[in-house]
Structure 1
Amino acid sequence: MSYIRGYDPDTLREKVDARQCRERLDEIGEQRSLPALLERVWLLKVLDRSEDALVISEQSVRVARMAGTRKDLLRARILHATVLQARGAYAAAEQELTMCAEEAEGQGWAGIAAFALQHRGKVAYEAGDFDAARRDFKRALFLRQESGVPDDQLESTLLAIDAADRRRAAASVAS
């Protein structure tokens, strides 16, 4: 079940049904499996509970390191970086996402690389670097097309490219 109802065209953040997210968070409770931890992180993040999300995301990275696969660890690190982004720690988020994207591309994991690049683009976007954001979104689009992702994931990337283009145009007019 997807809790995402769309994306804000200005912030690129997920639009969610907060009630459904809170209910799901209650259902998961204190489960310690990696999938449950990752889901809790995401739910806490979209509910603007970034302090709680940070604690659980750090725990999920440790669990993935000890008991998960390399792909699991990359996913946990990417999610952790998105929490850093939500907290305004753009440099740390960008650094982590860059390392994750490079490792995923090196392994030939196009879907994970695209996920990391999409989020690195969002970090650049929030930091006001719309050229870098657009480059990351375009690369993510290519990788997502290459890996055959569902249309909704392509749509979110296309929305992000459009938003970066709008912001770039507005910035050039203002200067």
Structure 2
Amino acid sequence: MNFIRSYDPETLREIVDESACAERLEDLGVQRSLPALLERVWLLKVLGELEEALEVSEQSVRVARMAGTRKDLLRARILHASVQQYREQFGAAEQELLTVAEEAEGQEWWAVAAFAQQHLGRVYFDMEDFGDARKAFKRALFLRQQAGTPDDQLESTLLAIDAADRRGVETSVAS
């Protein structure tokens, strides 16, 4: 089920079906499998439950380290960084995402690298560094194309590039 209805063009945050997210969160309960933990992190984050999202994201990173693959660990670290972003811990989120993106690209895991770059762009966007946000989003677009992502699934990245361009122009005009 897709919980995302659209993206807010001003914040780039997901606009979700909150009742469906809450229902899914209840369905997951306290399952401890890595996929369930990762899903819980995302659901808690988009529902604004950031303290619990942080705790579960830290747990998901530990589980991925112990029982997952390297790709699993990178995905868990990306979600952990996205929670840090929502908590306005931008420096920590940026560093984590830069490290993950570099490792994923080194392994030629284009989809994982693109996911990291997309989130890195969102960190820069929240920091109002629209130039670096645009660079990260453009890199995410390139990596998604490299991974063979169908054109219809590139919409969120194209929206993000457009938003960074628009906000960058607005910022330069205002100063």
Give TM-score scaled by structure 1 length.
Answer: 0.98
Task: Extract unaligned runs of 5+ from structure 2.
Answer: none
Quick one: distance in 1 between partners of 2:155 and 2:171? Answer: 24
How far, CA to CA, are the matches of 1:63 and 1:21 in structure 2? 23
**Residue number in structure 2 paired with 1:41:** 41
State the partner residue of 1:163. 163
Q: Which residue number corresponds to residue 80 of structure 1?
A: 80
Residues 75-154 of structure 1 aligned to structure 2 (within 5 Å): 75-154=75-154
Aligned-pair Cα RMSD in Å: 0.7
Would the alpha carbon gap of residues 150 and 21 (structure 1) be closer, same or farther in structure 2, given more than 3 Å must change? farther
Distance 1:79 1:123 in 2: 12
Q: Percent identity?
A: 70
Please state whether the residue corresponding to 1:5 is helix, strand or coil: strand
| 1:50-87 Cα shifts (integer Å, max 9, x gaps) | 00000000000000000000000000000000000000
Count of residue pairs brought into register by the alignment: 175
4+ aligned runs moved over 6 Å, structure 1: none
Q: 1:46 to 1:142 in 2, by over 3 A?
A: same
Q: Secondary structure at the match of 1:12?
A: coil
Do the aligned partners of residues 150 and 50 (structure 1) sit closer, same or farther apart at CA in structure 2, a change above 3 Å counting? farther
* TM-score, length-scaled by structure 2: 0.98
> 2 CA distance for matches of 1:136 and 1:70?
23
Gaps of 5+ in 1: none
Taking the aligned partners of 2:152 and 2:168, their CA distance within structure 1 comes to 24
Give the C-alpha shift of residue 153 in structure 1.
3.4
Q: Please give the alpha-carbon distance, in whole angstroms, between the structure 1 residues aligned to 2:149 and 2:2.
A: 15
CA drift of 1:148 comes to 1.4
